[in-house]
Structure 1
Amino acid sequence: MADALTRDGIKYMIARLLENANEAVEESKENKDDAYCAGRKVAYYEMLDILKTELDIRDQDLKEFGLDIDLENKIA
């Protein structure tokens, strides 16, 4: 049987996504003409935006999950 997903587990996964998104942003800046890099950055933005929206709908504290940021200006 699979372990239950905990609040700390969700925070950890979001932190990893944010870290990878920041790496994708930097890679995209270095490789402005690379469609793969641009697409990777957008993919992280989309994943984090969905998570942020779903947590917000459920009245969760976005700061607790590290999503109290302006994703559009930080990643997009």
Structure 2
Amino acid sequence: MMNDETMKYIISRVIDNANDSKKDYEKDKNDKFNNGRALAYYEVLDTIKSELDAHGEDLSEFGLDIDLEKTFLE
């Protein structure tokens, strides 16, 4: 099984990619590819956040103590 530090690193990379994806989407909100990409990152992070929460993990340790909808979909 993966250790917490590795998992934290992977999640931080996904968050960085999600932020980049949101920036690309904001440049052209009519671009369906970038819209879908931003939504996909949101869904991945939402799934990870839900699983960590269900397992009693401290979301702040993984950088997921944020409102994902507000951060990545607005």
Matching residue's letter, 2:72: I
Count of residues paired in the alignment: 73
Higher percent of residues as helix = 2
Q: Distance in 2 between matches of 1:5 and 1:59?
A: 17
- Give the RMSD, CA atoms, in angstroms: 0.7
Identity of aligned residues (%): 44
1:52 aligns with 2:49: yes
| Superposition deviation, residue 59 in structure 1 | 0.6
Gaps of 5+ in 1: none
TM-score, normalization: structure 1? 0.93
TM-score, normalization: structure 2? 0.96
Residue by residue over 1:12-68, the C-alpha shift from the partner in whole angstroms, topping out at 9 and shown as x without a partner, is 000000000000100000011100000000000000000000000001000000000
Q: Which runs of 4+ in 1 moved over 3 A?
A: none
